[in-house]
């Protein structure tokens, strides 16, 4: 794609990066065929190619150009950041990076209505601090019957109290785990089940107490500076446990990996190195953290799973592969492979490349589209009448569960139960 930036504009880092990405697009439109919002709305501006043109026009126009309107912002807001288009694109266009640049620029130029600003700030305040989120969730669960219908669907019932985790220090192999911001409240069993399964494989799993939200929610809501601060805070929390140079030889084993059980967090932590590449203090540490970041499935698929005794590998499972696992981390088929090795039967799911509509905070900021995508996804998942749907990301799990249909769980929970039966 030809671009028309002045030399002065190209000297700005974000324009330089956008220009590089725009020039890789050959405007073939193949990406539209796998874009969920294009399929729903049929408008070129709600597909990847149209959004790329909108961003190009936006960045090439001058400040104050009245062609940049809230309509441009709306079409960019409707994008799920699902990256299905990137999987399809034959030219390797890094669409998600261009989208981040475009969203920041359109917000700077046209601003946000007060209601939208309040919603976005409220989401960031409510979601990113685990203790605060758990307190709000407990309040919501108490008053759930009184909540409006739409909100009630999003508040899950209280879960059983956590079961005790095994002592991680009894193993020579050690890994860190990112507990996440909303997952400990919404699905407290996921990380415990992970610790129990890995314990059987001789791996000790511990959280770094000071690590918190990965920063993805801030980035989703166009608060990139706050997101970068969260990345640095997590690096500071992990670094003393990663870098053992200079310690006595009797100190604990080096950590092999930083595990994420939510694929949305995993995709984001794997990009810490790239996102903080220009930060002189953190660039090298961020690169190391990204190298160590692993989705849970990447750990399990390397282990001797056949030595585990799965006495209750239940039939009747369907797997929803999150976009952050298949399109961002390129791990499509990995969970299915692990579950098959453990003896589970999985039903095929049509249109498995399509997003369920969760997409970070999309289900709250774009509720109508998100509900349509959710219901279409549930229809596809339920086609084989499974007893349980499993997935690999807390956002997808909560969003799909809000339909009140077949229960949706993290896949490690059904593995844990099969092993402990």
| Interacting residues toward ligand SF4 by CB under 6 A | 25-31, 35-37, 48-49, 51, 79-85, 88-89, 91, 93, 95
Distance CA 182, CA 395 (A): 9
Q: Nearer Cβ to ligand SF4, position 29 or 348? A: 29
Contact predicate 32/49, CB 8 Å: yes
Q: Residue 84 Cβ, how far from ligand SF4 at the closest point, in Å? A: 4
Q: How far is CA 330 from the centre of its chain?
A: 13
Q: How many CA atoms lie within 13 A of 61 on its CB side?
A: 18
Q: Strand, helix or coil at 324? A: helix
Q: Nearer Cβ to ligand SF4, position 49 or 410? A: 49
Q: Nearer Cβ to ligand SF4, position 189 or 391? A: 391
Q: Residue 62 Cβ, how far from ligand SF4 at the closest point, in Å? A: 25
Q: Residue 36 Cβ, how far from ligand SF4 at the closest point, in Å? A: 5
Q: Residue 69 Cβ, how far from ligand SF4 at the closest point, in Å? A: 19
**Where does residue 385 rank: exposed (0-12), middle (13-18), buried (19+ CB within 10 A)?**
exposed
Which of 190, 280, 282, 275 is CA-nearest to residue 235?
Answer: 282
Q: Residue 72 Cβ, how far from ligand SF4 at the closest point, in Å? A: 14
Length of the chain: 421
Q: Nearer Cβ to ligand SF4, position 372 or 405? A: 372
Q: Residue 164 Cβ, how far from ligand SF4 at the closest point, in Å? A: 41
Q: Residue 74 Cβ, how far from ligand SF4 at the closest point, in Å? A: 13
Q: Nearer Cβ to ligand SF4, position 35 or 267? A: 35
Q: Strand, helix or coil at 259? A: strand
Distance CA 125, CA 136 (A): 11
Distance CA 84, CA 333 (A): 15
Q: Residue 334 Cβ, how far from ligand SF4 at the closest point, in Å? A: 21
Q: Nearer Cβ to ligand SF4, position 130 or 357? A: 357
Q: Nearer Cβ to ligand SF4, position 288 or 374? A: 374
Q: Residue 83 Cβ, how far from ligand SF4 at the closest point, in Å? A: 5
Contact predicate 43/87, CB 8 Å: no
Distances (CA, A) of 279 to 94, 237, 272, 273, 421: 22, 17, 11, 10, 49
Q: Residue 375 Cβ, how far from ligand SF4 at the closest point, in Å? A: 17
Q: Nearer Cβ to ligand SF4, position 222 or 310? A: 222
Q: Nearer Cβ to ligand SF4, position 36 or 207? A: 36
DSSP code for 410: E
Where do the H-state alpha helices sit in 43-94? Answer: 48-60, 70-77, 84-88
Q: Strand, helix or coil at 150? A: helix
The four Cα atoms 184, 382, 347, 39 give a dihedral, to 10 degrees, of: -90
Contact predicate 400/408, CB 8 Å: yes
Where do the H-state alpha helices sit in 128-275? Answer: 130-142, 149-154, 183-186, 189-200, 216-220, 224-242, 263-269, 272-275
Q: Nearer Cβ to ligand SF4, position 198 or 359? A: 359
Distance CA 261, CA 171 (A): 20
């Amino acid at each position: 794609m030809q671009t028309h930036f002045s030399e002065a504009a190209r000297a700005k880092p974000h324009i330089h990066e956008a220009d590089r990405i725009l020039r890789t697009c050959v405007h073939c439109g193949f990406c539209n065929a796998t874009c969920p919002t294009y399929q729903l709305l049929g408008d070129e501006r709600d597909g990847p190619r149209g959004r790329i043109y909108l961003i190009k026009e936006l960045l090439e126009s001058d400040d104050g150009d009245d062609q940049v309107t809230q309509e441009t912002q709306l079409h960019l807001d409707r994008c799920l950041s699902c990256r299905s288009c990137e999987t399809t694109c034959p030219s390797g266009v890094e669409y998600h990076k261009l989208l981040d640049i475009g969203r920041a620029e359109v917000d700077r130029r046209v601003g946000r209505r007060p209601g939208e600003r309040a919603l976005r700030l409220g989401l960031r305040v409510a979601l990113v601090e685990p203790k605060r989120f758990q307190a709000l969730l407990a309040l919501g669960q108490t008053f759930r019957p009184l909540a409006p219908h739409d909100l009630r669907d999003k508040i899950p019932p209280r879960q059983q109290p956590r079961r005790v985790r095994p002592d991680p220090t009894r193993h020579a192999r050690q890994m860190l785990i990112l507990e996440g911001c909303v997952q400990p409240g919404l699905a407290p069993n996921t990380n415990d089940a992970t610790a129990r399964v890995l314990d059987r494989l001789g791996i000790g799993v511990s959280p770094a107490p000071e690590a918190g939200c990965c920063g993805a929610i801030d980035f989703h809501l166009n608060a990139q500076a706050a997101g970068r601060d969260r990345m640095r805070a997590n690096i500071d929390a992990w670094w003393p446990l990663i870098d053992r140079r200079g310690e006595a030889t009797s100190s604990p084993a080096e950590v092999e990996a930083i595990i994420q059980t939510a694929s949305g967090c995993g995709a984001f932590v794997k990009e810490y190195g790239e996102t903080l590449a220009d930060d002189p203090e953190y660039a090298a540490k961020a690169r190391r953290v990204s190298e160590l970041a692993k989705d849970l499935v990447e750990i399990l698929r390397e282990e001797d799973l056949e030595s585990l005794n799965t006495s209750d590998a239940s039939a009747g499972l369907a797997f929803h592969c999150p976009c952050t696992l298949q399109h961002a981390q390129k791990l499509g088929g990995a969970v299915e492979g692990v579950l098959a090795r453990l003896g589970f039967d999985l039903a095929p799911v049509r249109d498995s490349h399509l997003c369920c509509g969760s997409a970070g905070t999309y289900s709250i900021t774009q509720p109508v589209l998100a509900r349509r995508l959710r219901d279409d996804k549930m229809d596809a998942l339920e086609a084989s009448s499974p007893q349980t749907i499993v997935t690999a990301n807390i956002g997808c799990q909560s969003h799909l569960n809000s339909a009140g249909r077949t229960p949706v769980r993290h896949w490690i929970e059904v593995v844990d139960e099969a092993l402990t039966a």
